[in-house]
Chain A
Amino acid sequence: MVQGATLSRWTMTWFATALVFLIGAEALMAAGYGFPAVSAEAPESLVLVHMIAIGWLSLLMCGALFQFVPVLVGRRLRAPGLVLPALVGLVLGLGCLLGGFLQLAGTLELDVSLLAPAGVLLPLGFALAAWAIGCTLWEGRPLAPAARFVAGGLACLAATAALGVLLVCVLSGMVTTFELVALRARLLPFHIAAGLGGWLGFTAIGVSYRLLPMFLLSPEARKSTSGAVWACGGAALLLLVVVAPLALVVGAGTDIIVAVALLLAAAALVFYGADVLFFYRHRRRKNVELNSKAAVCAFAMLFLSALLAAALLASGSMARHAGALLYLVAFGWLTGLGLSQLYKIVPFLTWLECYGPVMGRKPTPRVQDLVVEPRGKVWFVLYFVSVLAGTGALLMNWDSLFRITAAGTLAATIAIIGELVLARLLVNVATERRLPAGASRPHLFLPPLRHG
């Protein structure tokens, strides 16, 4: 048996599925489908947004958490049998959701609305994934700082799903209460804040608190600042995800709540920035690998997003340019960070799976021998430059330029995924060292069959 208790069997399958959705969404953008050719709230844009938020980022995050949370709390994953059903539920649910949006767009004509089954399958898939991750965290109490962020992220996932179901009910015509229909547009920002800022963002921050010191060989986070990020960020999310939507429902104003939340979020980002700098400054590893360099670009995009948000708010043009801001957050920060970490995690897990059994007994290649960094660097530069240019094109309302930059992002993503495939296939390892006797060649994205 090659896989040990701490290697999650289906992680590569989650990653592969997520990457398929990423390529699909980027190809649609390069083809000019959805935003910015039509409005950000048009059904075509909703197709794009959910391919990215659920298909790519959420599947990536779940796959990573199944692997990562057990390492974080030093315990095996609870209920590992839920991992595959969760993936099936999410993919089917997302398929229904996208189909439902296509019905709204008039592209797809069916007698029954697909949004209703999506409203069941997606929360179910997320619930299964969150149950396995949540139970593992629960057993690992008291939680380490990084794990607390993951727990907060899971809570936000629940809130995102709840608000999402509400929106689906309105969009599908299942709910026709006038008040709710009127609230739909005003609830949307909080659905986005809970999903992008809470579930994906807060969790990514937590994961980085563990991965950065691990890959850079730096000391663990300082308690005061990481605690401040947790407190300020958590309070901001509580206001945006729970208090503000409730205020809307009871008919109260949300301006002050949102203002306080934004100030708290800004404070959290400042403390987080200080921690990221601390990790890089105090690293004991002299040569920074490509994954950590690309992560620096992703962090820069996060702070650039914060500056852009401040500028848009100050100039009163947030409503007009929210799409550009969300694009920078989703592609510059979250996707950039995700791809950069995959560039390390995939070779590392492949190496462990393949050479674990002969480790120490026979000479094995190093993890870095599975990748060719100078080549990968070109793709990451192309990726981040095209995302920045794309954000600029959106801010200038220059749609044709945006399609060109989107093609650049797509090309870079395909190239990075190609590098991951080559790493899985051990192509970059010299032939004579590739498979010492006793090593086992990993499957591309399906787990090995169970023995015994």
Chain B
Amino acid sequence: MPLPPYDLDVRPILKSGGAPFGVIMEAVAALAPGQSLRLLAPFKPVPLFQALGARGFQPAAREIGNGDWEVTFSPVDSPAPESKAASGEADWPEPRLCLDNRDLEPPEPMVKTLEALETLAPGETLAALVPREPLFLFDQLRDRGHAWRGSFEADGSYRIVIRAGGLPGKPA
């Protein structure tokens, strides 16, 4: 018998001006295997669809009046494709490299990540923790034809998994 979903109402947090991302990520981390997360929010939390999609959760959203939304994130067997650069991908291989670039001074997190990426064979992946959502890195990855998935961590840092491009049929 499946577990009842874990309920989380982030409306009070948002109303008081807070950012609920950390709380949501903590709740996700605390879910039992197979358990869903039922989220109540004052808007349709589209950015979360991507972030939790990368962690293998499928969203089902419905409006419940007053502009509020109820979204149930249910775990699926394989992670949902997340970024548009990664669309149509099956499971990615385990990261061959894991980098922790959180304490580097900008733009070193980006430089170190791209340096490591150069050592990968096409199709291989690496995972990197960076201090913030790496918007400038996304540009570089897009220009160079790599695919990526990313999400925020509970501490506000950002974890990105990059798959080296250059496979047949992939933009290089």
Question: Which residue from B105, B113, B117 sits with its C-beta under 8 Å from A217?
Answer: B105
> In the complex, are the beta carbons of A6 and B139 less than 8 A apart?
yes
Q: Given the interface contacts A6-B136, A6-B139, A74-B135, does A359 sit within 8 Å of B105 by beta carbon? A: no
The answer to whether B113 and A360 touch across the interface, beta carbons within 8 angstroms, is yes
Is the Cβ of B135 less than 8 Å from the Cβ of A71? yes
B106 at the interface (CB under 8 A from A): yes
Q: Contact check, A352 vs B156: say whether CB atoms are below 8 A apart.
A: no
The smallest C-beta distance from A341 to any residue of chain B, in angstroms, reads 14
Query: Is B114 an interface residue when CB atoms closer than 8 A count as contact?
Result: yes
CB–CB B132/A214 < 8 A: yes
Given A74-B133, A141-B43, A214-B132, also A360-B111 (CB < 8 A) = yes
Report B-chain residues with C-beta under 8 Å of the C-beta of A5.
139, 142
Given A4-B140, A74-B133, A74-B135, are A223 and B18 neighbors across the interface (CB < 8 Å)? yes
Closest Cβ neighbor of B117 among chain A residues: A360
A186 within 8 A of B: no
Identify which of residues 1-51 in chain A touch chain B, using a CB-to-CB cut-off of 8 Å.
Answer: 1, 4-7
Enumerate chain A residues within 8 angstroms of B114, measured Cβ to Cβ: 359-361
**Contact (Cβ within 8 A) A217 B103:** yes
Chain B residue contacts of A361, Cβ below 8 A: 114, 118
The answer to whether A144 and B131 have CB atoms under 8 Å apart is no
* Most chain A CB inside 10 Å of its own CB: which residue of B43, B103, B113, B140: B140
With a cutoff of 8 Å between Cβ atoms, the chain A residues found around residue B103 in the complex are: 217, 284
Give complex CA distance A352, B135 in Å: 12
Q: How far is the CB of B137 from chain A (nearest CB, A)?
A: 9
Picked from A142, A217, A357, A359, the residue with its CB within 8 Å of the CB of B110 is A359
Cα distance, A227 to B22, chains bound together (Å): 18
A448, CB-defined interface residue at 8 Å: no
In the assembled complex, the CB of B65 is this many whole angstroms from the nearest CB of chain A, namely 19
Q: Are B107 and A220 in contact, with the CB atoms below 8 A?
A: no
Quick check: B17 and A360 within 8 Å, CB to CB? no
CB neighbours (8 Å) of B111 from chain A are: 359-360, 364
Chain A nearest Cβ from B150, distance in angstroms: 11
A80 within 8 A of B: no
Measured CB to CB, the nearest residue on chain B to A210 is B132
B135-168, CB under 8 A of A: which get 1 and which 0?
1101110110000000000001000000000000
Which of the residues A6, A141, A220, A360 comes within 8 Å of B118, measured between beta carbons? A360
Q: Are B139 and A227 in contact (CB under 8 A)?
A: no
> A348 and B107 in contact (CB under 8 A), knowing A144-B19, A359-B114, A360-B117?
yes
CA distance A367 to B109 in the complex (A): 13
Residues from chain A with Cβ under 8 Å of B107 in the complex: 348, 351-352, 359, 367
Q: How far is the CA of A7 from the CA of B115 in the complex (A)?
A: 21
Partner of B136 from the list A142, A284, A352 (CB cut-off 8 Å) is A352
Q: Which of B17, B114, B139 has its CB near the most chain A CB atoms (within 10 A)?
A: B17
The answer, yes or no, to whether A273 is at the interface (CB within 8 Å) is: no
Q: Shortest CB–CB separation between residue B37 and chain A, in angstroms?
A: 19
- Bound together, the chains give a CA A357 to CA B143 distance in angstroms of 9
**Partner of A359 from B18, B19, B140 at Cβ < 8 Å:** B140
Closest to B111 in A: A359
Complex Cα distance, B139 from A357, in Å, reads 10
B138 contact set on A, CB distance < 8 A: 6
A217 to B131, Cβ gap below 8 A? yes
Residue in B19, B43, B105 with the greatest tally of chain A CB atoms within 10 Å: B105
A223 to B140, alpha carbons, bound, how many Å? 33
Contact of A360 among B115, B131, B156 (CB under 8 A): B115
**Bound-complex Cα distance A284 to B102 (A):** 10
Q: Is A285 an interface residue (CB 8 A)?
A: yes
What's the least CB distance linking B98 to chain A, in Å?
17
A284 to B136, CA, bound (A): 22
In the bound assembly, the distance between CA atoms of A361 and B116 in angstroms comes to 9
Docked complex: B119-142 residues within 8 A CB-CB of A: 131-133, 135-136, 138-140, 142
**Of all chain B residues, which has the CB nearest A214?**
B106
Complex CA distance for A237 and B26, rounded to whole angstroms: 37
C-alpha spacing A74/B114, complex, angstroms? 21
Docked Cα-Cα span, A285 to B133, in Å, equals 19
Chain B neighbourhood of A220, CB < 8 A: 156
The answer, yes or no, to whether A117 is at the interface (CB within 8 Å) is no
Which residues 324-365 of A have a CB within 8 angstroms of B?
348, 351-352, 356-357, 359-361, 364
Interface contact B139-A223, CB-CB below 8 Å: no
> Chain B: which residue is nearest A360 at the CB level?
B114
Residues from chain A with a CB closer than 8 A to the CB of B27 are none
Chain A residues lying within 8 Å of B18, measured Cβ to Cβ, are 223
* Nearest CB on B from A105, distance (A): 47
Measured in the bound complex, the distance between the Cα atoms of B99 and A219 in whole Å is 20
Residue of B nearest to A76 (CB): B135
A408, B59: Cα distance in complex, Å: 62
Interface mask (B39-79 → A, CB under 8 Å = 1, otherwise 0)? 00001000100000000000000000000000000000000
In the complex, what's the smallest C-beta–C-beta distance from A224 to chain B, in angstroms?
9
Interfacial residues, chain A to chain B (CB-CB below 8 A): 1, 4-7, 70-71, 74, 141-142, 144-145, 214-215, 217, 219-220, 223, 227, 230, 284-285, 348, 351-352, 356-357, 359-361, 364, 367
Kindly list 4 other residue pairs between chains A and B, CB separation below 8 angstroms, not including A6-B136, A230-B17, A284-B103.
Answer: A4-B139, A217-B105, A359-B107, A360-B115
The 7 closest A-B pairs by CB, nearest first: A360-B114, A4-B139, A360-B115, A6-B135, A227-B17, A359-B114, A360-B118
21 contacts between A and B (CB under 8 A): A4-B139, A4-B140, A6-B135, A6-B138, A71-B135, A74-B135, A142-B43, A214-B132, A217-B103, A219-B156, A223-B18, A356-B139, A356-B140, A357-B143, A359-B140, A360-B113, A360-B114, A360-B115, A360-B116, A360-B118, A367-B107
